[in-house]
Structure 1
Amino acid sequence: MGIEEALPHELRGKLRADLLAADDKFVLEIPKVELHVHIEGTLTLNLRWKLTQRNGTILRLVPNGPELHSLEELHAAMDSIMPDSSRMNNDEERDMFFESYFEGFQALKTEEDYYDLAMNYFEHAASMNVRYCEPFFDPQGHTSRGVSWSNMMDGFRKAQKEAEEKLNIKSSWIMCFLRDHSPESATEHYKAAQPYRDMIVGIGLDSCEEDRRPSLFEEVFAQARGDGFKLTMHCDVDQKNTPKHIRQVVSVVAGEGTDRIDHGLNASDDRSLIDLILKRDMGMTICPWSYLRHTTYAKLGQRIRALYDAGIKITINSDDPAFMDDCWILHNFLLAKHLCGFSDRDITVLARNAINVSWAEQSVKDNILREIEIVYDRFHSSQ
């Protein structure tokens, strides 16, 4: 496309349509594993409207913004800010995103709300042949509003069970701490989550990372590792001190670094970071559509390709699809293939990467790996 600046909203919409119009049946049908999706980031505007109507809560797009009285007003409000996002600097775009993201939490109150939120994601994922996923959730954003752990987790559990039985999607949850909250709050929530250990496989760190280095949360992450949880942390793209944060996540946190790294795209610019990640044999969760606002179209493809060619086990994920032009895991796979010139064999490697670095039981991994080979052979048996 020759785009030399971050893609504005209207061009992202055209790109999405063009990718789908190509009708890439192999990318659609290959079994997928998703390791980086925020369940709250799957709160579509339609679901947000439904929940506020059910609960009688005030609907706003951002805190202290105008009250919205219809689904049409909500969509118009989102459309009014989206075109400007590519013309903002990273700090402005980040702040706008977080304002809308956390305001969406206000719609979630009851166990039924949390069930609906999770099932909405599982249904989207099933339509794109996701077989296993590890959704993130942010308990501090819910308990701070007076929501009980039982409402939140029982809703998630009900959807998780139903998705496995009816949609053929297995899942485990990753509880994330908000890094702009205190380490003490993280520890408090870690202790409160212990009754739900059968659901939670990993502990993560997300939200705004400006001046919030990963090592601030060393104590609680060390405890979580000692208790048998898997660990991961966000290192957002082109933020202040991102390379330093990547180095801490890879080699310092909890004594030896985490088990995976979320985002971490800036590692592509530093060979020493690439070597550290390779030495640790760490998986990396990449969310291509999320980065279209932060970097040029050409540079994004080069960065993802550099990580892949270096041998890092990158995986393709959707991040916050309700806030990313309604682009889910399928759209992110299609974008990665388009940006990087990936072949079907490369797509198969990416799909296998996600299985291998997931925290699923080995029997689950083996079943999906076999299914991937069946699909690949069906499309390429004559080659």
Structure 2
Amino acid sequence: MPQSKVTKEFIYGLPKAELHLHLEGTLEPELKLHLAQKNNIDIGQHTIEEVKAAYQFDSLTSFLKVYYPAMNVLQHTEDFCTLALDYLKKAKEHNIKYAELFFDPQAHTSRGVPIEAVINGYYEAAQQAREFGVEANLIMCFLRDMSAESAMETYLAALPYRSKFIGIGLDSDERDNPPQKFAQVFALAKKDGFHITMHCDIDQEGSIEHIRQALMDISVDRLDHGTNIVEDPSLVAYIKEKKIGLTCCPVSNSFVVDDMKGKEILELLHQGIQVTVNSDDPAYFQSYISDDLYSLAEAYELSREDVIQIVKNAFSISWISEEKKNGYLKMVDEYVASFE
């Protein structure tokens, strides 16, 4: 089917799942300023324009230098609930039916916020979202540029709230912080029945070795980003055999390395790898999931079938029951049929 058929209208209306979304990365300038004023936090910015101007970066490291200080405005349970609920309302606008949401407790507990405020606030938002038709679950992530001991302390502190999140992830600055550094806490989390995923960011030093560690040593269920895997056909064959999906984020890629990695995403897609498209930190990249999909489709001339397969992949590799997956996949088929 010709590329002209992949319209913005078609993409926006598709039922979707989002699997790579950092709740802290949904802090839009308007909410940041509102929470700063509410909580009497001096962020050095006094207008929306000033906040927007501060959201400037050209690499993963420079992005993180903007990203973490912005979180100071999040202080109380209701702040975390408000942040997540704002995203989930936008998710509805993009016809996201299901989302698995990353959150970083250490970014908050390290500045004195109780872990229960973080988890309870986010969880409350996920519960409220069901009322307007968006199902969401939480994935607790460790900051890899903090110590393995801190990750273990965070994991143990979170266990009293274990019913409120379904998975464990690893994110933040990958330099000199390989997956193996956190082998002990991930082994415990796996033993405790949590799903496991890890960021293997694009074009990092040691990318392929980190991907190998995540797959072979940690035995992750998914890889976040991970498109450097194309450099090792044996690892590509491994994830195909094991049905391990990749949660790709083309627009954020284009900010941190000036390349969407669309060529790699398409190559993997056409090899039968379950690649997905997600928005990562949409407040900072000003691109929500439908925008990412449309940008990728436009830049790399995706066929309509490519777009549909990417969307179906997300439901297929999500951490929900087969019954729910089949229900959502049926929604996609019905939408596609109705769009003819």
Tell me if both proteins adopt one fold, taking TM over 0.5 as the criterion: yes
SS in 1 for 2:247: strand
Identity of aligned residues (%): 39
1:137-182 deviation per Cα after TM superposition (whole angstroms, max 9, x unaligned): 00001111111122212211221111011x2011111000000111
Aligned-residue Cα RMSD (Å) equals: 1.5
CA–CA separation in structure 2 for the residues paired with 1:362 and 1:185: 35
Structure 1 partner of 2:19: 35
> C-alpha deviations, 1:217-265, integer Å up to 9, x for none?
1111111111100000000011110111011111111xxx100000001
**Match in the other structure for 2:305:** 345
Q: Secondary structure at the match of 2:98?
A: strand
| Superposed structure 1 runs of 4+ greater than 6 Å apart | none
- Do the aligned residues in 1 keep the contact of 2:105 with 2:142 (CA within 8 Å)? yes
Contact 1:130 1:169 in 2 (8 A): yes
Give 1:310 shift: 1.4
Maintained 8 Å contact 2:84/2:126: yes
Taking the aligned partners of 2:92 and 2:276, their CA distance within structure 1 comes to: 18
Say which of 266, 269, 276 aligns to 1:308: 269
- The aligned length equals 335
Q: Counterparts of 2:194 and 2:274 in 1: how far apart (Å)?
A: 21
Take 2:111 and 2:88, find their aligned partners in 1: how far apart are those partners?
25
Supply the AA of the counterpart residue of 1:262: D
Separation in 2 of the partners of 1:149 and 1:293? 31
Match of 1:116 among 79, 82, 91: 82
Distance of 1:212 and 1:236 partners within structure 2: 12
Please say which of residues 206-215 and 273-282 is displaced more in the overlay: 273-282
> Which TM-score applies when normalising by structure 2?
0.95
Deviations 1:23-73 (A, max 9, x none): 5221111100000000000111111001001001011xxxxxxx2222232
C-alpha displacement at 1:76, in angstroms?
3.1
Aligned-partner residue type, residue 120 of structure 2: D
Task: Report the residue type matching 1:75 in the other structure.
Answer: K
Question: Which whole-Å CA distance do the structure 1 matches of 2:258 and 2:185 have between them?
Answer: 37
CA–CA distance in structure 2, aligned partners of residues 260 and 72 of structure 1: 38
> Please, which runs of 5 or more residues in structure 1 have no aligned partner?
1-21, 60-66, 86-92
Matched residue type, 2:175: E
Task: Report the CA distance shift for 1:268/1:378 in structure 2 as closer, same or farther (over 3 A).
Answer: same
**1:120 alignment partner AA:** D
For 1:35, what is the secondary structure of its paired residue? strand
Q: Distance in 2 between matches of 1:187 and 1:72?
A: 40
Q: CA deviation at 1:352?
A: 1.2
Tell me if structure 1 keeps the 8 A contact 2:60–2:256: no
TM-score by length of 1: 0.84
Q: Deviations over 1:101-155 (max 9, x none)?
A: 1011101001111111001110111100000000000000111111112221221
Q: 351, 354, 357: which is aligned to 2:314?
A: 354
User: Which residue matches 1:214?
Assistant: 179
2:207 aligned partner: 242
